[in-house]
Structure 1
């Protein structure tokens, strides 16, 4: 596999931070202008937040990111130092923040790990493992949390009923089926029959109107075989920490919003479960967003999903939520990227010349 450095650096461009920021601001100003329930008094509501819960929300984010750093270090079998793991996660999150959610930052993550000194085949296997684990959390965890939510997962929103009717439920279940199928196929390909997977892939792309992608399919099959070799023979003491870290990461991602909503309104145990479950639904909606980092989409759907709990605090909480969970990665990425490029490219060149 050859990484297209030009495409990668086109994604890893600090100037790209302005696109999602402008989209997000545009949606926020649109909501402020067109929604009669949002006014200057509503904005003052941001100061009504309970400080302990806001601090808890921030701590949950910090712990979540620490979980990401720990997981990538364990997945790479501690080949990365703590410092290099932090760089990898910040740049990976930055890539995800400046690309449409449906695209993601997979290719960028492989590139970053490779430039950190991890061989390409191993880098591919490590990124594939993270993708499968993340998908499996959703595939296995979603039915469990939806069961505890007792069916109160789809919001009663007039806007959603008018625009989507029952499409939201259809989008969720279709997406769930696709994620489950993808996770099963990739797990079988990586851990059971990688060569069979490659053979099937080549056969599919030998069809006349798919033939122009046959070489790419063959290349992808080779990557799967190489990744499978890397992962074969890994024992339980390798998998348990990364699985536990994955559960911790995604639980923290959702619990942060629970803490933030609790900063404005008290939530019962049942409502905490419903808020948690609705984030699973909203995550699927955000995953198919065409905008970078789901900018605009996230702010809009937040109101539809959580106004039932927040009432007049919905608008300020949505802004607060994005300020804590999204925009920091744009800023950190723009700061850390030039430093990482100097460390990885220019220092290595200087060393090789000496």
Structure 2
């Protein structure tokens, strides 16, 4: 962990916010230019209730962050204070916002948790379990939502277009592929966490002997060791603690997805969509999330706005989609960039510069 400190600190430099902001604003400006129609904004109404729903959108993001903080405190047996949990979540989100989604930030998250006073082993276990709970949310929520909707048009851009077979629907195939990847990953992780972590590590090392992936064998060995540590920490955890952690996860992710629904209510009124439509929007966001995971841009900048505009076009009046998408990103993405910009330097100063100064002072005082 110590050896990687310099590399991790360089990866979270606040100056890195400029790239995702530039990409996001450029794509937004281009799409606005293409679809701009002054008449379409006549459909937008703003009243006292609109202001309430807009504030509620921000409140949902606060609920999301609170749920993540609560989960960290549960998983660390309250060894993290609320302030430390807040720092970790904001730094974690900042890192996710300035790096491509496909890269992930597990090692960085472990680093943040460890620097807030949790041992490396426990930090590793906590981050692995958060990943497990996040995947579990998607695995349970997606099929339940499909069952209640009883329809498959969450996988199409235009519901009025002629129906096509499922095997020709690229969005359905992408969602199905993503779902099974998450399911397989969760099953393997469950086996390692709760049944046989050493056996899974041995299997990983055997697989990574293959010539084509041999160069990643050290990382596989490290992941296997992390899994053993996580199993040791959480295998005997009581059921009620697992339920607390899962419900914190459930409310966090659900609050995040419902931001879009509240934004639609904000500008088009509560009667614009029925409850089934709201579930439909929620389901489309689950599909969008899979698509955003493969985005090559930092935090999905540009890509997220485009996908939002195209995928939710059936629920937002033509000509207003990109404007609503931009507001969605202002609420759910850009705050983490700006909070991180102020928090990172103070956090580095506290944990590295001040710490180094204290060590040097203690050494000088000993002579």
TM-score by length of 1: 0.93
- Give 1:157's aligned residue: 158
- Residue by residue over 1:97-119, the C-alpha shift from the partner in whole angstroms, topping out at 9 and shown as x without a partner, is 11111112211111111111211
Q: 2:346 aligns with which of 332, 339, 343?
A: 339
- Give 2:365's aligned residue: none
- Give 1:105's aligned residue: 105
Confirm or deny: 8 A CA contact 1:195 1:225 kept in the other structure. Answer: yes
- Residue by residue over 1:230-254, the C-alpha shift from the partner in whole angstroms, topping out at 9 and shown as x without a partner, is 1121112321211110010011011
What's the CA shift for 1:42? Answer: 5.4
Is 1:253 aligned with 2:289? no
Q: 2:206 aligns with which of 197, 203, 208?
A: 203
- Give 2:240's aligned residue: 237
- Give 1:74's aligned residue: 74
Q: 1:108 to 1:215 in 2, by over 3 A?
A: closer
Q: 1:344 to 1:27 in 2, by over 3 A?
A: same
- Give 1:299's aligned residue: 305
Q: 1:83 to 1:232 in 2, by over 3 A?
A: same
CA distance in 2 between counterparts of 1:2 and 1:78 reads 25
- Give 2:315's aligned residue: 309
Is 1:327 aligned with 2:325? no
CA distance in 2 between counterparts of 1:105 and 1:212 reads 20
- Give 2:52's aligned residue: 52
TM-score by length of 2: 0.89
Confirm or deny: 8 A CA contact 1:190 1:227 kept in the other structure. Answer: yes
What's the CA shift for 1:2? Answer: 6.5
- Residue by residue over 1:48-95, the C-alpha shift from the partner in whole angstroms, topping out at 9 and shown as x without a partner, is 372121121111111111111111111111111111111001000000
Confirm or deny: 8 A CA contact 1:43 1:316 kept in the other structure. Answer: no
5 Å-filtered alignment, 1:38-49, equals 38-39=36-37, 48=46
- Give 1:34's aligned residue: 34
- Give 1:288's aligned residue: 294
How many residues were matched structurally?
349
What's the CA shift for 1:43? Answer: 6.7
- Give 2:284's aligned residue: 278
Name stretches of at least 5 consecutive residues in structure 1 with no aligned partner.
none
Q: 2:171 aligns with which of 149, 168, 174?
A: 168
Structure 1 counterpart SS, 2:267: coil
Moved over 6 A (4+): 43-47
Confirm or deny: 8 A CA contact 2:71 2:248 kept in the other structure. Answer: yes
Q: 1:104 to 1:3 in 2, by over 3 A?
A: farther
Confirm or deny: 8 A CA contact 1:194 1:225 kept in the other structure. Answer: yes
- RMSD over aligned CA atoms reads 2.2
CA distance in 2 between counterparts of 1:94 and 1:8 reads 13
